[in-house]
Chains A and B, each alone.
Chain A
Amino acid sequence: MPNLIADLSEENGRWTLKLVGSIDSDTHHLMWSTESSSALLKKLQEVKADSLWIDLSETERFDSQGLRLLLNAHKEFSRADIPIILRYPNPHLNRLFQIMQFDRIFTIEFE
C-alpha cells in the first residue's frame, strides 16, 4: 500500500496541499492529489487561487524523482503566476533542500 496521503484543502482563501508520508516511486502519482500537477494547476486557476502552500510537516522524505516533480511544478505554476510555498519541512528535508539549493527556487516557511 502506498505510503502517502495528499490532501488538498482551502481555508480563508489559502489552498494547502498536505503531504503525509514519503514521496517515492510508489507514490509519485499520488503527490498532487489529482492525476498530475497540471490538473491541480487547472483546478487552482478555476477557483482563482493566488498561491499553493505545500505542507511538509508530516512528509518523511523525497526521492530524486519527487524533487524533479516539485521543480517541474514550480516552472508550470510560475508561468501561471501561482507561486508554490513549501511549509515546515523536517530537518532532514530542509537539509536536502539546502544542498539542492531549493531554498533559492522556492519560498520555504519554517515553524
Chain B
Amino acid sequence: MSEQPLKKLKRLTPQGSGREPIRVLYVEDSAVIRDTIARLLELKGYKVNYAKNGQEGVELAQSWKPQVVLMDLRMPVMDGYNAINELRANPATSHLPIFVISAWSSKKERTQAKLAGADEFFVKPPDLNRLIEAINRAVE
C-alpha cells in the first residue's frame, strides 16, 4: 500500500481546530477586489460567500445566514446604504455585524454609513489584521 504524502499545511479555523469556520458575506461589485479579500479571508480559515450588489446581499444574508457582513457602499441595483437599512429593518438580519469597506472615506460617507447602521468602517484596501480582529471580536 502506498503511503499518502503528508499535507504541507494544516489549516485551522479562526475559532480553532474542530469548529465550524466563521461565515462572512462580502457584498462588493468589483470582482477583483471581492476575489482578493475573499481569498485572503479563506486563507485565514473563514468561509466566504459574496454578492455583487446590495439586493443580492440582502437576499443572501437571509438565505445563507452569515455571521458577519462586509459591505461596499457604491454598487449598482442597490447601494450599500439601502442594503444596510434593509438588513437592519429585518428581524432575521438586524443583529448582524456589518462592516463597510469603501474607497470613499469622507466624513460624510462615514456618518451616513453609521446612520444606516454600519458597525465599523474600513477604507479599501482594508488592513487585513484589523479586519480579522473586528470579525473575530464581533462573532465572540
The interface of chain A, by Cβ under 8 A from chain B, is 64-65, 67-68, 71-72, 74-75, 81, 99-102, 104-105
Contacts and interface: CB of A to CB of B under 8 A. Distances in A.
A55 B128 CA distance: 27
27 contacts: A64-B30, A65-B31, A65-B32, A67-B32, A67-B35, A67-B36, A68-B31, A68-B32, A71-B32, A71-B35, A71-B36, A71-B39, A72-B35, A74-B39, A75-B39, A81-B5, A81-B7, A81-B8, A100-B32, A100-B36, A101-B40, A101-B128, A102-B36, A104-B43, A104-B128, A105-B39, A105-B40
Contacts of A99: 125
Contacts of B36: 67, 71, 100-102, 105
Contacts of B43: 104-105
Interface in B97-140: 125, 128
Given A65-B32, A101-B36, A105-B39, 15 more contacts: A64-B30, A64-B31, A64-B32, A67-B35, A71-B35, A72-B35, A75-B42, A100-B36, A101-B125, A101-B128, A102-B36, A104-B40, A104-B43, A105-B36, A105-B43
B interface residue count range (under 10 / 10 to 19 / 20 to 34 / 35 or more): 10 to 19
A105 B5 CA distance: 24
A105 B8 CA distance: 16
B42 to A, nearest CB: 8
B36 to A, nearest CB: 5
Contacts of A71: 32, 35-36, 39
Interface in B1-40: 5, 7-8, 30-32, 35-36, 39-40
